[in-house]
Structure 1
Amino acid sequence: MIKADVIIIGSGIAALQLAVHLNEDKNVRLLTKSKLRLSNSYLAQGGIAAAIGVNDHPSKHLTDTLEAGRFHNHLEAAKQIIYEAPSLIRDISGKGNVFDMDSNGEFSLGMEGAHREHRIVHSGGDATGKNLSEYFIEKLPPNLKVEEDSFAYELVLNSEGTRCIGVKVKRQDESQEIYYGNHIILATGGCGQLYKYSSNAKTVTGDGIALAYLAGAEIMDMEFIQFHPTLLFVNGDTKGLISEAVRGEGAILVDENGTPIMEGVHPFKDLAPRHIVSQTIHEYLKNGSQVYLDITSIKNFKNRFPQITELCEKHGVDLTKGKIPVVPGSHFMMGGIKTDLIGRTSIPGLYAIGESACTGLHGANRLASNSLLEGLYQGKKLAEWLNTVQQDPIEIEVSNHKKGCQRSRKLPDIQEIQEFMMERVGIVRSEMSLKKQKKWLEQFKLEEISSFDHFSISELTKIFMLFTANLITEAALQRTESRGGHYRMDFPTEDNERWLRKSIIQQKWEMEKRYEQIETALTT
């Protein structure tokens, strides 16, 4: 039994930002199921969206976020995060040489899909996540102890079942440990590896969402899964992400004959919102046509995108021919554990930040490069709050409502889970495919599992994948419309009532923008 003030589960940007901003008088443990540097954040290529350009303004950034999110966003949450983005960037830049700058010493700003302005701050060209993670890792305080290869498999509640006070962990040798803490933070990322094609790290299998759900926390918007349009596709398999920044620099999507595929589909063409581009590519693939990124218009591609160049060359793609084969794959989960802006869940003592959390920022479809932004915001805000909150003694006596050990039925292979999710709950869905997946999931009788202690890490990974897959499938069945990352071929349009909501949000936001313009004019 180990006690700590704060227990952080995960090692992405949100977790690291939290860790470096906690007061050093706190005893902090950071648990990660694999290695410190193995996370989606570390793999992130594109950058961080922030309205810091001369012609940009947070109101423009917010408008783009709402439109990409198909007006399913939580307006106030989105506004608070986006308006703080410039200060978050400047705070990091003022403490270290992290971001790429232009010849005038200003931030070098990139363009990505569904943005109306160049506002993507990046580092090392396409190594933003890696460089930012290393920046934080170097600043980790001495009061923090990192424990790798620690698989969190159950949240511990108090005897009344009203507060989270700890987490059960398995090591690689299957030994078990219980960590007790005043504050338990889930920063475990999304669930990209539930799908056959994914840009996510191999460890991102929805564990944190399943843990929170099983503890009784509120989960929301699980039907909204973003499929990134461009994953490198070689020999029938995906090999990694080709950042949207490549299209931002001028690359276009073409079929095998060199014909542009986004012409006439959307006014933004290749920089349309991700769900539109992914659905378009999906149609071409379904009809037997391969899709490529034509990069011939990008000068000095290797210098601008060194990591992507290395990835392509590693897998035998000849960049001198100017075409990169791509397919869409699962990339980001807009839903997750319902939280407020600083990460508090419906269970006292339990928090979620980063992709595992659902603040309402992203709505039905995340705007490119808003993910690292959300992690930076929540990590810092939660740290500031934890630094001021009074800590009560940890109650070690725990609820013992689970009896015995009833193992589940035979579990499927991970590849089978991934293939069925891609086929039935993927880019294009229908009532028939979703019900088929629901019936397949029901055979494993997950609800009959009364204890997780005696399952291996491998078995627990599959069990959590199945729980999370069921949450997505159930939510997708319930939403009888298409919106953002959720496309139902049997309900291909957005619901009229939701368009009314859009209208109300737009009117309110246009009014706020006009007031801001007046205030700006008066002060200048």
Structure 2
Amino acid sequence: MMAERLRHDGVLVVGAGLAGLSAALAAAPAKVLLLTEAPLNHGCSSAWAQGGVAAALSADDAPELHAEDTVAAGAGLVDPEAARLLAAEGPAAVRRLAALGAPFDQRADGGFAQSLEAAHSKARVARVKGDQAGRAIMEAVTVAALAAPHIQVKTGAKLVGLLQDATGRIRGVLARIDGQPVEIAAKAVILAAGGIGGLYAVTTTPAELKGEGLGLAAMAGAVIADPEFVQFHPTAIDIGRDPAPLATEALRGEGAKLLDGAGRPFMANYHPAAELAPRDVVARAIHAERAVRGGAFLDAREAVGAHFPEEFPAVFAACMGGGIDPRVQPIPVAPACHYHMGGIATDMDGRTSLPGLYAAGECASTGVHGANRLASNSLLEAAVFGERAGRAARDERPASGPYAVVTAPELPDEALQTLRQAMSREAGVVRDAEGLGRLMLLIGDLEARHGRAASLAAARLVAACALNRRESRGGHFRADFPEAAAPDRTFVTLDRIDPAGLRYAAE
């Protein structure tokens, strides 16, 4: 079927999470066409975020301390410039969200009420009703975007390709809108297409997020950074739901304890900070306890107890829906794919290695997360770097002339489910060469059967780079290489990966 051709005289944003909406708002006065497959506030991780937004907002905190904590959590791979910028611009970003109507919890003196979360040296997570931050922030930002005269929102629009000219410049996108293919040319494209959680069988993110923005950018030749680093949230609620509901880290900040199957606390055996250890440490500890002792539980009976319904309503509702009353019962928990630290490599203004293409949010890699994202830095990154990408993209000059379409087939659902099981099994909390090799062979087999789907390209990047990194660092743990080695970031293009999927191609 021939695609309809349209020209948008402005900036094209793909994705309507916090990064996409922040970019769209910041691109004014340039016209913005925002494409989203799902209805607004659906199909994006931003709306599901529970903990809140980290920023140095209190008198006893400072952006320098926030940057130091971000660098420390990132296990040697954080770009210090990115961390300083994020922390410096963080307080203003939170205040802008509040000015748009995000109802952050307040102290009696009118300041922001802030929670302590793992690996933070200060209580600096601005929250909404305990665990409602993502939803409340997205509602406020969505209202602002819909009211902005320069933004046009098109729902039911799925990204299926990129328009690219002979110089490598990205000239627009191929989208399927209400089932019909449409080529949309624009002066700049901002990908804010989310992460890769839907590639894992156990995930806390919307199923729609299958790394297709990352995969298409890679297929167009974009440099990809650190794709092997996937963060597994330690405390997904283990009640058999897909995606798994989340028990926010703020519960441990309030004093909830992790228990083994016999009801004994175990985190002190793994890290001196116990429940407030970095996420990768807690995730591996729970993974080990489940494997050896058959279960792990989050006990908030004393820390929260009867106050659950009003203090953590989302967690309370999810538990009750699964037959668990967290006021009187420990919550069964398991690690789940939660956030991708890697992504399309960008500078501090969202520019990728391909002219005309910007990226923001989870599909991008600014270097601010390193090997292990600091808790509640994700919404902050989306707001700060989404805005910066929008401001930079509005100044792009339009290009003309012919272009080609970089596109990929859709992976059938049965094949996707096979891939998801393999990703959780072989590229999960604990990895080794044997399992990653099996995964790459499976990806090759799926490509042979169904073509190179964008989701398969994303999965190949994760697995091949995990196989290539022969050390353990942050969210990447190799059972066969448990020690850390040199702290070098990964920068790779898809064409450098051996077709057999077992190693990088020779330089």
Q: Normalized against structure 2, the TM-score is what?
A: 0.90
Distance in 1 (CA, whole Å) between partners of 2:401 and 2:129 is 47
Cα distance between partner residues in 1 of 2:251 and 2:19:
25
- SS of the residue aligned with 2:390? helix
**Do residues 470 (structure 1) and 468 (structure 2) align?**
no
Q: Select 2:256's aligned residue among 251, 257, 260.
A: 251
Residues 331-372 of structure 1, C-alpha deviations (whole Å, 9 max, x = no match) = 000000000011100000001000100000000000000001
Structure 1 residues without counterparts, runs of 5 or longer: 450-459, 500-524
The answer to whether the 8 A contact 1:41-1:133 is kept is yes
Contact kept, 8 Å, 2:187 with 2:396, in 1: the verdict is no
- Is 1:482 equivalent to 2:506 in the alignment? no
Matches for 1:83-482 after TM superposition, within 5 Å: 83-96=88-101, 98-140=103-145, 141-158=148-165, 160-173=166-179, 175-235=180-240, 239-299=244-304, 300-387=307-394, 389=395, 391-392=397-398, 394-399=399-404, 412-445=414-447, 449=451, 463-482=453-472
Quick one: which amino acid aligns to residue 487 of structure 2? R
Structure 1 residue runs of 4+, over 4 Å off?
Answer: 235-238, 407-412, 446-449
* AA matched with 1:55: D
TM-superposed CA distance for 1:109, in Å, is 0.5
C-alpha spacing 1:275/1:97, structure 2 compared with 1 (3 Å): closer
SS of the equivalent of 1:6 reads: strand
1:466-499 per-position Cα deviation (integer Å, ceiling 9, x unaligned): 211111010001100000010000000111x339
For 2:173, give the aligned amino acid: V
Q: Distance in 2 between the 1:161 and 1:184 partners? A: 16
What do residues 106-145 of structure 1 show as CA deviations (whole Å, max 9, x unaligned)? Answer: 1100011111110000123211111111111111112212
Aligned equivalents of 1:437, 1:201: Cα separation in 2: 23
1 CA distance for matches of 2:242 and 2:216? 30
- Quote how far apart the aligned CAs of 1:95 are: 4.7
**Offset at residue 11 of structure 1 (A):** 0.6
Q: 1:95 to 1:205 in 2, by over 3 A?
A: closer
1:478 partner amino acid: N
One-letter identity of the residue aligned with 1:253: L
Q: Do the aligned residues in 1 keep the contact of 2:162 with 2:405 (CA within 8 Å)? A: no
Matched residues in 1 for 2:396 and 2:229: separation?
A: 37
2:230 and 2:340 in contact (8 A); partners too: yes
| Aligned residues between the structures | 478
- Aligned-pair distance for 1:397? 1.7
| Aligned residue type for 1:65 | T
Of residues 73, 76, 84, the one that matches 1:68 is: 73
Radius of gyration: which is bigger? 1
For 2:85 and 2:235, locate their aligned partners in 1 and report how far apart those are by CA, in whole Å: 30
Aligned-partner residue type, residue 260 of structure 2 = D
Amino acid at match of 1:296: R
Answer with 96-105 or 192-201: which moved more. 96-105
Distance in 1, matches of 2:389 and 2:293, equals: 48
Q: What's the CA shift string for 1:154-175, capped at 9, x where partnerless?
A: 10012x14210011011343x2
AA partner of residue 498 (structure 1): P
Instruction: Summarize deviations over 1:36-83 as a string: whole Å, max 9, x none.
Output: 211100111110110122221122211211111101111111111111
- Structure 2 counterpart of 1:423, one-letter code: R
Identity among equivalent positions (%) equals: 35
RMSD of aligned alpha carbons: 2.2
Alpha-carbon distance between aligned partners in 1 of 2:272 and 2:131, rounded to the nearest angstrom: 26
User: What is the identity, as a one-letter code, of the residue corresponding to 1:382?
Assistant: A
TM-score (norm 1): 0.87
| Whole-angstrom CA distance in 1 between matches of 2:222 and 2:464 | 17
Whether the aligned pair in 1 keeps the contact of 2:356 and 2:396 (CA below 8 Å) is no
